[in-house]
C-alpha cells in the first residue's frame, strides 16, 4: 500500500527524471517506492524480496542492481558504501541543489539520516586531505554511531 506522502514524492521524482531527460519506468518507480517506505536501508537482495512481496514479481539480481544504480545516478537514492545498502534520498521534495550527502548510520537499529555538508566544510576537508598527498575519489561521508533513540 503506497502512502500518500510516498505518492507525492514519486510524482516529484518523475518530474526530476523528466527534467533530466530520463524515464522513471514502472519498475524504477516501484523500486523507489519500496526504498521510500522502508525505514532502514536495504540491500539489493532485500529489495528483491520486498519487490516480490509487494508486486508478486521476481526480479533478477542484475535488474535489481540496474534499477538501484539508475536511482543513485539520478540522486533519487544513495548507496551506502560502508554497509552496501541503498536508501531513498531525503531531499526529493526539496528545491535546493543536492549537497554532498553525509550519512549518519545507527549501528543498533540501522536507521540512516542524510545530512548535507556545507560546501566550505567540504572544501576545507578536501584541502587538508590533498595536503597529505592522498587523492580522494569517493567523497561521500558515512558516520557510524547510535541514533538518539538508541543511546
Ligand atoms: Zn540525497
Ligand atoms: Zn532538502
Ligand atoms: Zn538507532
For the chain, domains (ranges, CATH) are 4-145 (1.10.10.10)
CA of 9 to the centre of ligand 2 (A): 12
Closest CA to 40 of 104, 98, 99: 104
CA of 113 to the centre of ligand 2 (A): 12
Which ligand lies nearest to the CA atom of residue 91 in the structure? Answer: 2
Q: How far apart are the C-alpha atoms of 88 and 124, rounded to whole Å? A: 28
pTM: 0.87
CA of 8 to the centre of ligand 1 (A): 17
CA of 118 to the centre of ligand 1 (A): 14
Q: How far apart are the C-alpha atoms of 50 and 35, rounded to whole Å? A: 10
The least confident of 28-32, 120-124, 136-140 is: 136-140
CA of 114 to the centre of ligand 3 (A): 14
List pLDDT tens digits, range 77-112. 999 999 999 999 999 999 888 877 889 999 999 999
CA distances from 72 to 68, 79, 110, 132 (A): 6, 7, 20, 30
Quick one: which H or E segment has residue 15?
helix 4-20
Q: How far apart are the C-alpha atoms of 81 and 88, rounded to whole Å? A: 14
Q: How far apart are the C-alpha atoms of 36 and 5, rounded to whole Å? A: 10
CA of 60 to the centre of ligand 2 (A): 33
CA of 83 to the centre of ligand 3 (A): 15
C-alpha cell, 62: 542484475
Average pLDDT, the chain: 92
Amino acid at each position: 500500500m503506497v502512502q500518500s506522502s510516498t505518492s507525492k514524492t514519486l510524482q516529484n521524482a518523475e518530474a526530476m527524471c523528466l527534467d533530466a531527460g530520463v524515464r522513471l519506468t514502472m519498475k524504477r518507480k516501484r523500486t523507489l517506492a519500496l526504498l521510500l517506505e522502508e525505514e532502514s536501508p536495504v540491500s539489493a537482495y532485500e529489495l528483491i524480496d520486498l519487490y516480490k512481496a509487494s508486486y508478486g514479481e521476481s526480479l533478477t539480481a542484475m535488474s535489481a542492481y540496474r534499477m538501484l544504480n539508475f536511482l543513485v545516478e539520478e540522486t533519487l537514492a544513495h548507496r551506502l558504501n560502508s554497509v552496501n545498502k541503498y536508501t531513498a534520498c531525503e531531499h526529493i521534495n526539496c528545491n535546493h541543489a543536492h549537497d554532498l550527502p553525509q550519512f549518519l548510520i545507527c549501528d543498533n537499529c540501522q536507521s540512516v539520516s542524510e545530512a548535507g555538508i556545507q560546501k566550505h566544510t567540504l572544501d576545507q576537508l578536501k584541502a587538508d586531505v590533498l595536503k597529505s598527498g592522498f587523492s580522494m575519489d569517493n567523497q561521500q561521508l558515512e558516520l557510524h554511531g547510535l541514533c538518539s533513540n538508541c543511546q
